[in-house]
Structure 1
């Protein structure tokens, strides 16, 4: 069972500022300091995270895994890439350091003639090629940490906070709990 909307809103208010004033000073806000403390504790012992990546390598032979953990975000992201060829999609599993929830989403790429690939974030159920790795990743997160999946409707709840350079009214629980740049992947 995941925390309620009100519990999650109360939680993220402890870790993000309500305005951008802290962006223009060298001082760290109390909210940012609390978030950085969470990250410091998490990065001090990455054994569970490494074990998750090892488990995914065993469960998804041939697939590539990666990770992102920018400390401006609400938690780390595990990336699962397709086994061969050009990267057409990536499955992303986000684990929040702020609440016992996770979220799985996909990024699909379109390639433009002579131009860069364009990422498209997909929060809806994964299409066929992404469904299997998404299920494996979700099961691994639930088993390892006991976290529950955050429903999309709850993830899209607006929050009056600034996450990175994302400001209200664009900011949602997803941005605060996980990442403000879901399409920014290596």
Structure 2
């Protein structure tokens, strides 16, 4: 059962501040200390996550799947899945990435897509699709979701709950733009490799 937005906000408040009181201080905030301690606790699961990514690679052989865990930057483990694409000489070149996040704050996950447009090696545009997943990527996204559910027992966070605004500062996100999605998964869903 998915926790309510109010329950998830109460959890997020433990790890993210509601003001900027500690921004210019040398010492970490109480939320920072709890967040760092939680990551130290959850970091022991990194080998299990790595094994999960390998299993996922085997389940979707037409894609490359990679572990994406930028340390304390995100409150989640993440897998990035890159569908194999034919190399055309057309300009501009469009690439897709399917991202699966498993929150460390609650037993929840999300899967979203990022479309990037390149002209040569220059990124011209990046767009995040939190939902619905584009039809051509639905099978990949479903496979990622099924595997996260089976391996970790997590529940998908519904988009309408994920988009609930929260009065918290999450990395570079600040109210009123901050949502539960940012607090539980990543403050920069489009900032992937």
**What TM-score results when the alignment is normalised by the length of structure 2?**
0.90
* Partner of residue 26, structure 2: 26
Within the candidate set 111, 116, 120, 1:109 is matched to 116
* Partner of residue 150, structure 1: 157
Instruction: Give the match's secondary structure for 1:41.
Output: helix
Q: Does 1:76 align with 2:102?
A: no
Instruction: Give the match's secondary structure for 1:105.
Output: strand
Taking the TM superposition and a 5 Å limit, the aligned residue runs for 1:118-137 are 118-137=125-144
Is there any run of 5+ residues in structure 2 with no aligned partner, and where? 88-93
Deviation per residue, 1:53-87 (Å, 9 max, x gap): 01111101131112322313221211000123466
In terms of fraction of residues, the more strand-rich structure is 2
How far off its partner does 1:110 sit? 1.9
How far off its partner does 1:20 sit? 2.3
Within the candidate set 85, 104, 107, 1:100 is matched to 107
Q: Distance in 2 between matches of 1:97 and 1:135?
A: 21
Q: 1:72 touches 1:163 (CA, 8 Å); kept in 2?
A: no
Q: Does 1:138 align with 2:145?
A: yes
How far off its partner does 1:105 sit? 0.5
More deviation, 123-132/112-121: 112-121
* Partner of residue 52, structure 2: 52
How far off its partner does 1:45 sit? 3.5
How far off its partner does 1:104 sit? 0.7
Within the candidate set 176, 179, 186, 1:169 is matched to 176
What is the number of equivalent residue pairs in this alignment?
A: 186
**What TM-score results when the alignment is normalised by the length of structure 1?**
0.93
* RMSD between superposed Cα atoms in Å: 1.6
Q: Distance in 2 between matches of 1:164 and 1:114?
A: 28
Q: Does 1:2 align with 2:2?
A: yes
Q: Distance in 1 between matches of 2:6 and 2:117?
A: 38
Instruction: Give the match's secondary structure for 2:15.
Output: coil
